[in-house]
Amino acid sequence: MRAGIIPVKELISDAIAMVSTMFPKIRMRRLRQPGIRNLVAETQLSPDDLICPIFVDETIENSVEIGSMPGQYRVPLDAVADEAKEIKDLGIPAIILFGIPETKDEGAMSAYDDDGVIQQAVRSIRSGTDGLVIVTDVCLCEYTTHGHCGIVDYARETVLNDPTLPILGKVAVSHARAGADIVAPSGMMDGMVRAIRTALDIDGFTDTPIMSYSAKYCSCFYGPFREAADSGYAFGDRGGYQMDPANSDEALREVELDIAEGADIVMVKPAIPYLDILYRIKTAYQMPTAAYQVSGEYAMIEATAAMGWLDRDQAIYESLLSIKRAGADMILTYFAKDAARMLREDFGASTTTI
Binding residues (CB under 6 A) for ligand PBG: these are: 137, 139, 141, 149, 186-187, 222, 225, 238, 294-295
Our CB check for ligand PBG shows the closer of 49 and 137 to be: 137
Q: Of the two residues 133 and 218, which places its CB atom closer to ligand PBG in the complex?
A: 218
Q: Three-state SS across the chain?
A: CCCCCCCHHHHHHHHHHHHHCCCCCCCHHHHHCCCHHHHCCCCCCCHHHEEEEEEEECCCCCCEECCCCCCCEEEEHHHHHHHHHHHHHCCCCEEEEEEECCCCECCCHHHCCCCCHHHHHHHHHHHHCCCCEEEEEECCCCCECCCCCCEEECCCCEEEHHHHHHHHHHHHHHHHHHCCCEEEECCCCCCHHHHHHHHHHHCCCCCCCEEEEEEEECCHHHHHHHHHCCCCCCCCCCCCCCECCCCCHHHHHHHHHHHHHCCCEEEEECCHHHHHHHHHHHHHHCCCEEEEECHHHHHHHHHHHHCCCCCHHHHHHHHHHHHHHHCCCEEEECCHHHHHHHHHCCCCCCCCCC
Give the nearer residue to ligand PBG in terms of CB position, either 166 or 204: 166
Tell me how far, at minimum, the Cβ of 217 lies from ligand PBG, in Å.
10
Residue 236 CB, nearest approach to ligand PBG (Å): 12
* CB atoms closer than 10 angstroms to residue 173: 24
Contact 181, 140 (CB under 8 A): no
Catalytic choice (88, 104, 170, 216): 216
Burial 23-56 (b: 16+ CB within 10 A, else e): eeeeeeeeeeeeeeeeeeeeeebebebbbbbbbb
Q: Which of 88, 170, 269, 282 is catalytic?
A: 269
Specify whether 269 is catalytic: yes
Clarify whether 216 is annotated catalytic.
yes
Name which of 107 and 128 has its Cβ closer to ligand PBG: 107
Residue 205 Cβ vs ligand PBG, minimum distance, rounded to whole Å: 22
Residue closest to ligand PBG when measured from CB atoms: 225
CB of 61 to ligand PBG, least distance (A): 25
Please, which residues bridge with residue 212 across strands? Answer: 266
- Minimal distance in Å, beta carbon 154 to ligand PBG? 20
Q: Which is nearer to ligand PBG, 137 or 302 (CB)?
A: 137
134/149 with CB nearer ligand PBG: 149
> Nearest distance from residue 26's CB to ligand PBG, in Å?
44
CA-based nearest residue to 293, from 80, 69, 75, 86: 69
Q: In angstroms, what is the minimal distance from the CB of 185 to ligand PBG?
A: 9
Identity of the residue, 257 or 300, whose beta carbon is nearer to ligand PBG in the bound complex? 300
Catalytic residue numbers read: 216, 269
